[in-house]
């Protein structure tokens, strides 16, 4: 056989083992010997049954995503599944780890599937801007029903082995040596004798499909897709499984797959898949990481409480420190309430709630942080306060403890220089709510030790965060670019655009919400405090804050929010205020098109990203995309600001930036030199040649 596929024979039951680390992707060097093995075993009269298993940590986790966009090498997955499904003798997939995408489709080509109790099964292609292209949209509904299949395929969320057994996706769940169980299962099936019905012929449940309910749910999912094509195609393909003959539905699935795999949206989402993994890779050789068990968090407010929950949720004991018992109890009460809400919603079991609450220890004495391996301060955003805290940590923290600040803006080199152990200092910039938002900007200060950095990058992944290592500058990567994106917001208002028009231009682009809705959600007072600290002004937002209009939390901001509702209602008072301020500045209002709004907000965003790359604050353009998709909701179908710049064309962006520079004279429109090099070379790699 080959290194990637081997065959053993146990008393007439053939075991085909796929071995393609790390996730047994169905690369060509797996597919070719796998097809040869299946054909040989099909024709081998001494073989009574066939088990397909995988070596390593998981069953096949999908097609090889790196092969997409390249010429398909035969046999492709569809040919393998067709051959497998036509085998008359019983075939059994032995599933452990994660059977995902093409892996589950391979298993659906078998008569039977058995799973380890810890296994997960799913069709996550939608997350890559695709749909299952190996028959999953037509076979899965035949086992679990059309509605369940649509939900699984449109969400891309895998299900556990027990649930899969309950829905008929797997035929047995085992504990212990899965392959032995699978061989015994296959032998028993062969002994009982056939015929063995392939999944393609098991369409008894499809007739019960309530198409009206299916269509209603599919329409709702399409609305939530916010312009993404794959979710809509997934639902359509599953519907075809109900309404069309098998082979016709399969042909439509293939046509949809071919269209999607060539689309910009899928290229963007595949870019993000690899970008997230690339972002966690540090230059240089591997270093020994420090051991992190107990985590100390200073500050039990919104950020500190969320950060504490993020670590408790990741299984770490947490010491939560506040300046007073009253503040500490308030913080702990908020944490308890948050967990209680999760239990009520059904997203957390009562046992898990108790277990997580048991991780917390409260204190108002810094000395109690002496046994912490990592301490994160989430105190008031003021340099003097941060330095005072780090001074105390320098005295009480154990040697080798990592000392992190959650600051959003402040100079971490300055904080590190104020204590005796700058090598242990770095930034962990969480995004609110810290127990929910995936992004974690890990700020590498000038003197941060490599092992400290590697330790927190690994720790981030283990607590379910998407880590991006960034350098020290005002606002690091995300917030610095956010300032550039917002630099024209007030000018656009004063020139005639309303908050609703600007926000609609953003949501039509694919953002979950526009800048003014986002400001009202986060609280306008945060930006107001930052501007005052830096001697900056924003005439509209400042005036709103002076009137106590901080956004949702005060029921009024750029919009009105009635009776605690989160639905923004345009406020004529705000629009009148904007008109008055414009008149004071002698600005005559005009109609502003959505394209202009996008140019004057997102092109400065990209330009600032180019400057950040030039300065080495971010190591890769794809790191910037990971920040913006995971921290700010940049539409995944556009791949992040830097990937999207490639779709728009750097040359066009430069031309428009220069137009607005000429008109406004503002620095945000001055094209970065790397943006110009991108226009020439087509690559963000500094100094790259085409």
Distance CA 664, CA 659 (A): 9
CB 21, min distance to ligand T1G, A: 9
Please identify, among the stretches 129-137, 364-372, 487-495, 547-555, the one whose residues bind ligand T1G according to the rule CB under 6 A.
129-137
Give yes or no for residue 125 binding ligand T1G (CB under 6 A). yes
93 φ/ψ angles, rounded to the nearest 5 degrees: -95, 130
Q: Greatest CA separation found in the chain? A: 92
Which is the catalytic residue, given 10, 32, 85, 125?
125
**Can you name the residues that pair with 15 across neighbouring β-strands?**
8, 51
Query: Could you say whether residue 349 binds ligand T1G (CB under 6 A)?
Result: no
- Give the total residue count for the chain: 690
Closest distance to ligand T1G from the beta carbon of 563 (Å): 42
Q: Closer to ligand T1G at the Cβ: 59 or 360?
A: 59
Q: How many residues bind ligand T1G (CB under 6 A)?
A: 25
d(CA 552, CA 309): 24
Nearer to ligand T1G, 322 or 625 (CB): 625
486 binds ligand T1G (CB under 6 A): no
| Of the candidates 74, 122, 83, the residue with the CA atom closest to the CA atom of residue 101 | 122
The yes or no reply on residue 77 touching ligand T1G (CB under 6 A) is yes
- Give CA 598 to chain center in angstroms: 24
Residue with tokens 């393998």: 80
**Whole-number minimum distance, CB 326 to ligand T1G, in Å?**
42
Whichever of 134 and 198 has its CB closer to ligand T1G, that residue is 134
Q: Which residues between 263 and 282 bind ligand T1G (CB under 6 A)?
A: 274, 277
Q: Calculate the alpha carbon distances from 310 to 313, 460, 462 in Å.
A: 5, 10, 11
Query: What is the closest distance, in whole angstroms, from the C-beta atom of residue 274 to ligand T1G in the complex?
Result: 6
Q: Closer CB to ligand T1G, residue 123 or residue 574? A: 123
38-67 footprint of ligand T1G as x/- string (CB under 6 A): -----------------------xxxxxx-
CA angle 628, 633, 637 (to 5 degrees): 90
- Give me the 581-620 binding string for ligand T1G, x by CB under 6 A, dash otherwise: ----------------------------------------
* 8 A C-beta contact, residue 8 and residue 14: yes
In three-state secondary structure terms, 17 is: strand
| Nearer Cβ to ligand T1G (136/331) | 136
In a 10 Å sphere around its CB, with 0-12 CB exposed, 13-18 middle and 19+ buried, how is residue 132 labelled?
buried
* Residue 442 beta carbon to ligand T1G: minimum distance, rounded to whole angstroms: 17
Give CA torsion, residues 600, 602, 603, 606, to 10 deg: 150
Of 122 and 641, the one with the shorter C-beta distance to ligand T1G is 122
User: Strands 91-95 and 112-116, how do they pair?
Assistant: parallel
Q: Is residue 22 part of the contact set for ligand T1G (CB under 6 A)?
A: yes
Q: Both tokens of residue 224?
A: 């939530």
25 touching ligand T1G, by CB under 6 A: yes
Identify which of residues 394 and 458 has a Cβ nearer to ligand T1G in the complex.
458
Which residue from 128, 170, 252, 309 is in contact with ligand T1G, where contact means CB under 6 A?
128
Given the residues 10, 32, 85, 105, the one annotated as active site:
105
Tokens standing for residue 194? 């056939």
Region near ligand T1G per CB under 6 A, out of 101-109, 188-196, 197-205, 296-304: 101-109
Taking the C-alpha atoms of residue 618 and residue 610, their distance in angstroms, rounded to an integer, is 10
Q: For residue 66, with 0-12 CB atoms within 10 Å meaning exposed, 13-18 middle and 19 or more buried, which class applies?
A: exposed
CB of 443 to ligand T1G, least distance (A): 23
We find the least distance from the C-beta atom of residue 60 to ligand T1G, in angstroms, to be 8
Alpha-carbon distance of 85 to 135, in angstroms, equals: 11
Taking CB under 6 A as the binding criterion, the range among 100-108, 247-255, 291-299, 678-686 that sits at the site for ligand T1G is: 100-108
CB of 594 to ligand T1G, least distance (A): 33
The answer to the question of residue 287 lying near ligand T1G (CB under 6 A) is no
Q: And the tokens for 335?
A: 């944490």
3-state secondary structure 490-527: HHHHHCCCCHHHHHHHHHHHCCCCCHHHHHHHHCHHHH
| Rg for the chain, CA atoms, rounded | 28
457 contacts ligand T1G (rule: CB under 6 A): no
Smallest distance, Å, CB 77 to ligand T1G? 5
Residue 551 φ/ψ region, left for φ over 0, alpha for ψ in the -120 to 50 degree band, beta for the rest:
left
Active site residue 10: no
Output the smallest distance, CB 655 to ligand T1G, in A: 36
Contact between 260 and ligand T1G by CB under 6 A: the answer reads no
Q: Is 125 one of the catalytic residues?
A: yes
Q: How far is the CB of 118 from ligand T1G (least distance, A)?
A: 13
**Measured CA distances, 271 to 69, 486, 514, 594, 640 (Å):** 12, 26, 24, 27, 9
Is 133 a binder of ligand T1G (CB under 6 A)? Answer: yes
Note whether 100 binds ligand T1G by CB under 6 A.
yes
Distance CA 253, CA 132 (A): 8
The reply to whether 124 sits near ligand T1G by the rule CB under 6 A is yes
Phi-psi sector, 608: left (phi>0), alpha (psi -120 to 50), beta? alpha
Q: Is 101 in the site for ligand T1G (CB under 6 A)?
A: yes
Interacting stretch for ligand T1G, rule CB under 6 A, among 122-130, 242-250, 509-517, 651-659? 122-130
C-alpha–C-alpha distance, residues 544 and 670, integer Å: 30
Q: Can you tell me which of 102, 514, 519, 551 binds ligand T1G, judged by CB under 6 A?
A: 102
- Give whichever of 130 and 497 is closer to ligand T1G, judged by the CB atom: 130
Only segment of 9-17, 121-129, 520-528, 578-586 that touches ligand T1G (CB under 6 A): 121-129
How far are the Cα atoms of 119, 341, 342, 343, 456 from residue 350, in angstroms, in the given order?
A: 23, 11, 9, 6, 30
* Cα 90 from Cα 182, distance rounded (Å): 12
Interface segment toward ligand T1G; rule CB under 6 A; list 93-101, 240-248, 371-379, 636-644: 93-101
Please give the positions annotated as active site: 105, 125
What is the binding site for ligand T1G (CB under 6 A)?
Answer: 22-23, 25, 61-66, 77, 98, 100-102, 105, 124-125, 128, 130, 132-134, 136, 274, 277
């Amino acid at each position: 056989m080959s290194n990637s596929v081997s065959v053993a024979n146990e008393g007439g039951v053939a075991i085909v083992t796929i071995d393609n680390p790390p996730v047994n992707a169905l690369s060509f060097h797996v597919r070719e010997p796998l097809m040869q093995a299946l054909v040989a075993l099909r024709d081998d009269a001494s073989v009574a049954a066939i088990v397909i298993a995988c070596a390593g940590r998981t069953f096949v986790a999908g097609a090889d995503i790196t092969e997409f966009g390249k010429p398909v090498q035969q046999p492709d997955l569809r040919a393998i599944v067709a051959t497998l499904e036509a085998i008359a003798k019983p075939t059994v997939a032995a599933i452990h780890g994660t059977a995902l995408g093409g892996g589950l489709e391979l298993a659906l080509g078998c008569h039977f599937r058995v799973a380890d109790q810890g296994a997960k099964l799913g069709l996550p292609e939608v997350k890559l801007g695709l749909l299952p292209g190996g028959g999953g949209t037509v076979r899965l509904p035949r086992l679990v029903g059309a509605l369940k299949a649509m939900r699984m395929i449109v969400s891309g969320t895998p299900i556990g082995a027990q649930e899969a057994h309950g829905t008929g996706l797997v035929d047995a769940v085992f504990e212990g040596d899965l392959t032995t169980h699978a061989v015994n299962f296959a032998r028993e099936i062969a002994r009982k004798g056939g015929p063995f019905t392939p999944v393609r012929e098991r369409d008894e449940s499809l007739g019960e499909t309530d198409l009206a309910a299916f269509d209603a749910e599919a329409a709702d999912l399409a609305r939530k897709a916010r312009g993404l094509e794959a979710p809509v195609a997934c639902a359509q393909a599953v519907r075809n499984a109900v309404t069309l003959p098998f082979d016709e539905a399969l042909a439509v699935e293939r046509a949809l797959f071919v269209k999607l795999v060539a689309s910009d949206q899928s290229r963007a989402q595949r870019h993000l898949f690899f970008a997230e993994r690339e972002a966690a890779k540090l230059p240089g050789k591997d270093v020994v990481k420090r051991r992190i068990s107990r985590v100390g968090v200073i500050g039990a407010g919104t950020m500190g409480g969320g950060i504490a929950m993020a670590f408790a949720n990741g299984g770490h004991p947490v010491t939560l420190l506040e300046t007073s018992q009253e503040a500490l109890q308030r913080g702990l009460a908020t944490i308890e309430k948050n967990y209680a809400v999760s239990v009520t919603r059904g997203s957390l079991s009562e046992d898990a709630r108790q277990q997580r609450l048991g991780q917390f220890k409260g204190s108002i004495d810094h000395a109690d942080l002496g046994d912490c391996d990592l301490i994160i301060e989430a105190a008031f955003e003021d340099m003097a306060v941060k330095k005072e805290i780090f001074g105390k940590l320098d005295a009480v923290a154990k040697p080798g403890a990592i000392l992190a600040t959650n600051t959003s803006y402040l100079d971490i080199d300055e904080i590190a220089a104020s204590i005796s152990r700058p090598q242990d200092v770095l930034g962990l910039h969480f995004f609110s709510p810290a127990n929910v938002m995936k992004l974690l900007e890990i700020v590498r200060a000038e003197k941060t030790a490599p092992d400290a950095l590697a330790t927190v990058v690994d720790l981030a992944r283990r607590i379910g965060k998407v880590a991006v290592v960034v350098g020290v500058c005002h606002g690091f990567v995300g917030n610095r670019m956010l300032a550039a994106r917002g630099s024209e917001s007030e000018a656009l208002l004063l020139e005639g655009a309303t908050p609703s028009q600007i926000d609609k231009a953003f949501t039509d682009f694919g953002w979950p919400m526009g800048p003014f809705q986002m400001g009202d959600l986060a609280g306008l007072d945060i930006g107001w405090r930052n501007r005052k600290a830096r001697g900056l002004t924003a005439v509209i937002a400042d005036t709103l804050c002076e009137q106590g209009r901080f956004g949702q939390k005060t029921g009024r901001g750029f919009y009105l929010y009635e009776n605690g509702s989160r639905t923004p209602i345009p406020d004529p008072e705000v629009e009148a205020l904007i008109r008055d301020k414009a008149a004071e500045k002698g600005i005559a209002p005009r109609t502003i098109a959505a394209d202009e709004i996008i140019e004057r907000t997102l092109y400065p965003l990209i330009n600032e990203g180019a400057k950040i790359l030039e300065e080495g604050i971010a190591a890769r353009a794809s790191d910037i995309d990971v920040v913006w998709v995971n921290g700010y909701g940049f539409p995944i179908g556009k791949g992040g600001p830097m990937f999207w710049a490639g779709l728009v064309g750097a040359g066009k962006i430069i031309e428009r930036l220069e137009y607005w520079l000429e008109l406004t004279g503002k620095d945000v429109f001055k094209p970065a030199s790397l943006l110009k090099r991108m226009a020439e070379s087509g690559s963000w790699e500094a100094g790259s040649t085409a």
